[in-house]
Structure formats: C-alpha cells, structure tokens
Amino acid sequence: MKDHLILKDLSVALGDAEILRKVNLAISRYKILAVIGPSGCGKTTLLRTINRLIEEEKQARVSGEILFKGKSIHQIPLAKLRKDIGLVFQQPTPFPMSIYDNLAYALKYHGVRGKDNLDKIIEAKLKLCGLYEEVKDHLTMSALKLSGGQQQRLSIARSLCVEPEVLLMDEPCSSLDIHNTKIIEDLIVKLSEQYTIVIVTHNLQQARRIADYTAFFLEGKLMEMNNTEAFFANPQEEETKQYLQGLFG
Amino acid sequence: MNVTNFPLRCWTIISTVLSIGLLFFLLGFVFLKAQGVITLNFILAKPAGFPVGSAGGIWPAIAGSLLVTLIASLFASILAFFSAVYMVFYCRDARIHLILNLIIQCIAGIPSIVLGLFGYAFLVIKLKLGLSILASGLTLAIMIFPFIQIRLQKLFQETSKQLLEASASLGINQAYTIFNLLLPMYRKQFLSIVTLASGFAMGAAAPVMLTGCMMNAPVPKSLASPFMSLPYHLYVLIGQGISLENAYGTAFVLMTLILFLNLLAAIPTILRMRGKP
C-alpha cells in the first residue's frame, strides 16, 4: 500500500477550542511531508493526534479517522502504535541518565535482552544519526552534558531504537543553530530511505530543502497540499500565497 | 520608598540572626550542660544505678531509636511513594484528588499523643502486636507519612510533561516510566526527604511511649521486642527527677543524631549548588 497514513475528516477540539477541522490527507511511505502554517494552526496537535498523545489531555475530543497501514489507529494496541509511530519533540528530551541508558531504556521495555543485542542496536542507531563517532568513548556520560544538537540527535536515535515505521517530528530544529540544523536536515533526508517522516516546521526554506510534499495549515484547516516543488512554485490558494510571501505568520 | 523599606529590612535581618542564633545557643547550652557526662562509656553502656538511668549509659536507647526510626521510615516511604504516584499519575478525578489531599493534611495535623493512643488501641491491643518496636515504628510511620507524601507529590508534579510524553511516545507504559525513569531521576531527593522525615520521627516521644517504649530494656532482638528510645529516656530522666545531667547527655546525643540526619539530607542540595549532578 502506497499510503502509509491516511487522515479522514479528522477534527480535534480541546475544550471549546477547535484545533483541527475536518482534515483529510494521505502520507506516502518513505516520503517526507512538511507541515507548515502560522503558530496555533494545529500543526503540533496533528502530530499528537496521530500517535494518540492528545488523548492524554483531559479535554480533548477527537473525531474522524486515522488509518495506519489501512487499519484504524484505535484498533492497534496503544503501545504498539506508539512504537510504530515515533515522535521527536521540539526541545530535545534526553532522559537524565547516561547516553547508553537513554537508548537502552525503551529497548529493554520492548523485550530486547542481552548486552550484545543492546550494544548492537545502540551502535547502529547512533551511527545512523551520526552521533556514534562523537560519543563512542563517552557512552556512560550523562546525556544532559551533550550539546543541544547532539541531544536532539540522541532523541531521534532513541525514537529509532524501537524500530518505528513513521517518524513524527515537531520542529526538531527550532532550538538549534544553523550548523546543527544542517546536520539534522541531512539526517532526516537519509532517514526517509527507511522511514516515513512527517515534520512540522516554521522554516519554509527547510520544508523546501528536505520535503517531498508540503501541507499548509491555517486555523486548523488543511488549505493546500502538493509536492514541494509545485507547492512553492505555484501555490493555488490565496492564503498560501500570502503566507509564502510572508504577509502573515 | 527607602523609608518604609528600612524597618522591614532590619526586621528580616534580626529574625534571621535570631533564628540561627537560637540553634547555636540551644546546641551550645545543651553541650555545656552535657559535657561532663558525654564519654564513650555513656554512649556504649547500658543504663544502670537505682533508680535506673541515674548511672551507666544510653546505648539501648540509641540503638532503639535508630531501629524504630528505620522501621518508621521504611513503612512511611513505601506508603508515601505509592500514594504520591497515585495522586499525580493515576488519579484523574479532581474531586478525589481534593479529598485525598485534605485527608493527608489532616493526618499531618493529628497530635502525636493521639497517634500514640491510636497505636496503643489499634496496633498494640486490637492487632495484638503487643508493646513492641514494630507497633511503635508503625505509629511513627503514620506520623511521618504526610511529611514524605506531600513532598514527593510536589516533586512528581514538577516533572516536565515533555519528559513523560517522550517516554510515552516510545510506546512505554506509565508503570515502567515511573520505576525506570522517575525513580532513578528522583532517587537523591527521595532519600533526602526520607532522611529528613526520619529525623522528625527520631525526636518524637509521644507516639512511642504508649506503644512499646520502656524505661529500661535491652537492644531489641526482634520486631516484637519492647525497646528504649532517646526522647522517652530523656522524658523519664527529667520527669521523674532521676538525673538532670544524664538527661542533658541524652539530649545532646539525640540532637547530634538528628542534626547529622538533617545534614545528610542536605547533601544533594549542597552538591547541586556546587554544580555537580
């Protein structure tokens, strides 16, 4: 099946506030979808709804349907769903433990046993995220001592450890400098060979540089979605044009 | 504005100096009164003389106090940990939350002698624990439970939401997150809170005097044995006019132990201030 994730008439409200309104979109396997839009347009809520984190909020009401590989996400056990659909946050979220333990934490939970197995997976994921050479001699060091960019790569590596199929990323570069942003962007492009990626970003150029598809959200509605090149070259909606020209946002 | 600020500043400084001064005065005073009796023999010998306590030492009281404190801390911290976890991570109903908070604050307000009476009526008589170090330890545990629970709850509430969500996003359930992420993360603070609470328990006389504490007993051999404790020993020495000197000696040892516990509890804070993890 080509479409990895399908959203059908997805609406989300938090209390009285409607955050997402009847969103319909399909996300293809091994592609990068960039979600752009002004603050408060529901980008982050979209990601949190896909891995059902939104349901932890007391006032959240979700209607519509999300299909993951053709199956409603509510038919998939929650732990399995979140294992298959990873989420990387805006701020790096290293756990206050060693670099090694950060990565072993979820692996042990999901039943990976034996130091050799753990070592193998951890090394592979650190290498994939380009962090291995930098930290291989300091695996027992506290992850909190890493730089911001390293912490974010560690957070990504940690999400990858549990072998997700989809990776949701919520402005993963917004707290990083240009150099680290470049590293993470290259990493995202590399990861899209093995994972489907949905990235929320404030940075239009970033969407342009890395995404296969771009979706523009405004006030909870999906205004427009197209392949990135066409999206930026020839936006269809008036609002999209204005946003891309920097008239609001 | 300086005119109105000045008296306030003066008063804050005076209050601070007074409270610190009071501690040093108290310690110094007790030490001066006790220095004649504080010897190794006093610390390591059994009470002797007639009436008992007028001579000899206080070793069974030191050991009894340490053991009963250990029992109390153990029970109270287990109970407090799980109830704090429930309140912060599992209780979704705001009303239940409110009621539980109210109950815990009420427990914190129970006079310690009433706890002693409860311990006697319920643990010693009804549950047939007898006058024992276990009954005293459990009574003290009730006393320090809110102390630990309230602080732990506050600690858990301050956990960054993002950290919990990061764990949840890996498909990990709450129980695993609590035991493998939060508990290691808060280990030092948890120990520090329990240590502080144990100092509180060690100094209490009322809850133990009705539940298992004796004027004269050997170092307890089992949980069912009666025992001696420093605050009760102090109370008897003064209350029955047995030996004022030994009472000061006992007071000094008790204060030193509690001070030591408090300093121990402050270590994580001190280390943090010096920038170490």
Residue B67 covered by a domain: yes
Q: Are A4 and A69 in contact (CB under 8 A)?
A: yes
Nearest residue of B to residue A159, measured between CA atoms = B170
pLDDT at residue A1 in the model: 52
Those residues with Cβ within 8 angstroms of residue B37's Cβ, 6 or more apart along the chain or in another chain: B245, B246, B248, B249
What's the CA gap between A40 and B235, in Å, rounded?
A: 66
The total of structural domains in chain B comes to 1
Is residue B102 in some structural domain?
Answer: yes
pLDDT of residue B274: 77
> A3-92+167-244, which class in CATH?
alpha beta
Average the pLDDT over B83-98 and give the result.
93
Mean pLDDT of the region A135-143: 94
Looking at residue B105, its pLDDT comes to 95
- For B167-199, how does the pLDDT look when each residue is reduced to its tens digit (9 = 90+)? 999 999 999 999 999 999 999 999 999 999 999
- Please compute the mean of the pLDDT values over residues B65-84 and round it to a whole number: 97
What amino acid is encoded at B262 in this protein?
Answer: N
Residues above pLDDT 70, as percent of chain B: 98
In the prediction, which pLDDT does B73 show? 97
User: For chain A, what are the domain ranges?
Assistant: 3-92+167-244
Mutate to test the interface with B, among A105, A167, A169 (most CBs of B within 10 A): A105
Residue B12 lies in a domain: no
Separation of alpha carbons A241 and A227, rounded Å: 15
Mean per-residue pLDDT, B147-158: 96
Averaged pLDDT for residues A173-179? 89
Task: Indicate yes or no: CB of B172 within 8 angstroms of CB of A106.
Answer: yes
- Kindly state whether residue B45 falls inside one of the protein's structural domains: no
Residue B92: per-residue pLDDT: 86
CA A32 from chain center: how many Å? Answer: 10
Tokens at B51, concatenated: 């009436």
Cross-chain CB nearest to A82 (options B169, B180, B184): B169
In 3D, which of B248, B200, B254, B194 has the Cα closest to residue B228?
B254
Cα–Cα distances in angstroms (integers) from residue B163 to residues B136, B156, B157, in the given order: 40, 12, 12
- As a whole number of angstroms, the distance between CA A196 and CA A213 comes to 12
Domain holding B201, by residue range, is: 60-229
Neighboring chain A residues of B92 at a CB cutoff of 8 Å: 58
Query: What is the CATH number for B111?
Result: 1.10.3720.10
To the nearest whole angstrom, how far is the Cα of B171 from the nearest Cα of chain A? 4
Return the residue of A nearest to B176 by Cα: A109
Is residue B70 within 8 A of residue B139, CB to CB? The reply is: no
For residue A67, what are its two tokens? 């299909």
8 Å CB contact of B180 and A109: yes
| B109 interface with A at CB cutoff 8 Å | no
Q: For B181, which of A78, A95, A158 is closest by C-beta distance?
A: A95
Kindly tell me if the per-residue pLDDT of B2 is higher than 60: no
The one-character DSSP state at A7 is E
Tokens 């008239």, located at residue: A247
Q: Can you tell me the distance from the alpha carbon of B163 to that of A89, in angstroms, rounded to the nearest whole number?
A: 10
Q: In the prediction, which pLDDT does B62 show?
A: 97
pLDDT value at residue A100: 96
Of A215, A245, A200, A208, whose CA–CA distance to A229 is shortest?
A: A208
For A242, counting Cβ atoms within 10 Å of its Cβ (0-12 exposed, 13-18 middle, 19+ buried), the class is: middle
On the 0-12 / 13-18 / 19+ scale of CB atoms within 10 A, B176 is middle
Within-domain flag for B47 = no
